[in-house]
Amino acid sequence: METRKIGSLDVPVVGLGCNNFGGRLDAAATAAVVNACLDAGVTFFDTADVYGGTRSEEYIGQALGGRRDEVILATKFGGRVADDRKGAKPEYIHCAVEDSLRRLQTDRLDLYQLHVPDPETPIGDTLAALDELVRAGKVREIGCSNFSAVQLQEAAAATAPGAARFLTVQNEYSLLKRDPEQGVLAECERQGLGFLPYFPLASGLLTGKYRQGQPVPEGARLAATPNPSRWLNDDYVARAEALIQFAEARGHTILELAVSWLLRHPTVTCVIAGATKPEQVRANAASAGWKLTPEELAEVDRIAGAA
């Protein structure tokens, strides 16, 4: 699989989002997905301490066992694990990283990301603590998530000379959710940051399982979410149907379109798609090869609704 750079890391262009682990998937099902990823060359795992109530990290650590060195582990801190375990204050960061290292059964994290901005903590203080972790060898590279273009600029300005700096930003981005095109992607280009799109398949709407005029599949994830109408509304379903027809008319699937469309942007480092079954892993791994022409990209923008 093609790889792209995050600092010292060579990252495959398709990775695994691990927010299903510990929630929808138990330890055995997690291990099945992890093993399928290793077999398919999907070696970038993105998780967070809050996923599955900390069980996502635990299950990944158990599943990897002696194969830790075959993968690039990315996790996040800053979300609410408990009332006294949240945010980005330096003293908490040092506790949070030890917790993640223990759960993941490893001595270092390849990418450690601030999950959400912490308005109560100066970003310079957070960056200084993360730099200490990098210097101690506990973290290789650092990144952030859910940051605006202005917040990325503030982080760059607060980074001490020679210190570790954010190398990635992870925000929601897909064919149907285009907010990063309003400044964040341009700021990534300006700073040389890698962009990691989460929910790249619009929570499954861009996989082809939801079809216009057909009932929602039984047990489908979107139907069980607190706000299914966010994606399962007439507008989004109609656009997804048109994108399915566009892709199939050219011998591709909407999954290939969704992933390849994101990767056409050189700033996008890795598409972190979720999976609950080994066959989904294999489909995701095979989805990155469509090189869309300028004419095809223009038509996709027309169908999906350009930003």
What is the C-alpha separation between 149 and 134, in angstroms, rounded?
24
Q: Which residues of 237-257 are buried (b: 16+ CB within 10 A; e: fewer)?
A: bebbbbbbebbeeeebbbbbb
What are the CA-CA distances from residue 233 to residues 32, 210, 237, 243, 300 (Å)?
33, 11, 6, 16, 20
Q: Which residue has 């080994």 as its token pair? A: 278
Residue-wise pLDDT tens digits, 114-147: 999 999 999 999 999 999 999 999 999 999 999 9
Phi-psi region of 227 (alpha: psi -120 to 50; beta: other; left: phi over 0): beta
Answer yes or no: is 251 within a domain. Answer: no
Answer yes or no: 51 catalytic.
Answer: yes
* Residue 240 resides in a domain: no
**Spatial separation of the C-alpha atoms in residues 55 and 236, rounded to whole Å:** 32
What's the total number of domains in the chain? Answer: 1
pLDDT score, position 214: 67
| C-alpha of 93 from chain center | 21
pLDDT computed for residue 306 by the predictor: 64
Backbone angles phi, psi at 49, to 5 degrees: -65, -25
Which listed residue (51, 112, 173, 210) is catalytic?
Answer: 51
**Does residue 154 belong to any structural domain of this protein?**
yes
Q: Is 63 inside any structural domain?
A: yes
In a domain, 60, yes or no: yes
Instruction: Dihedral sign for Cα 216, 222, 225, 231, please.
Output: negative
Q: What are the average pLDDT values for consecutive 10-residue runs of the chain, which has 307 residues?
A: 95 97 96 97 97 98 96 98 95 98 98 98 98 98 98 98 98 96 97 97 86 66 64 83 96 97 97 96 95 96 81
Query: Is 115 a domain residue?
Result: yes
* pLDDT value, residue 234: 80
What is the pLDDT, as a whole number, of residue 8?
Answer: 96
Contacts for 29 with CB less than 8 Å, ≥ 6 apart: 276
Q: Are strands 166-172 and 194-198 parallel, antiparallel or unpaired?
A: parallel
Question: Which residue matches tokens 């093609």?
Answer: 2
Question: With contact defined as beta carbons under 8 Å apart, do 284 and 275 qualify?
Answer: yes
Comparing C-alpha atoms, which of 200, 127, 198 is closest to residue 167? 127
Range of the domain at 142: 3-204+258-289
Q: Is residue 250 part of a domain?
A: no
Q: What's the pLDDT score for residue 213?
A: 65
Domain CATH for 98: 3.20.20.100
Question: How far is Cα 286 from Cα 291, in angstroms, rounded to an integer?
Answer: 13
Q: Say how many C-beta atoms besides its own lie within 10 A of residue 149's C-beta.
A: 18
The pLDDT value recorded for residue 217 is 65
Q: What is the pLDDT of residue 211?
A: 72
In tens, the pLDDT along 173-209 reads 999 999 999 999 999 999 999 999 999 999 889 998 7
Separation of CA 129 from chain center: 23
Which pLDDT does position 208 carry in this prediction? Answer: 84
Within a domain: residue 294? no
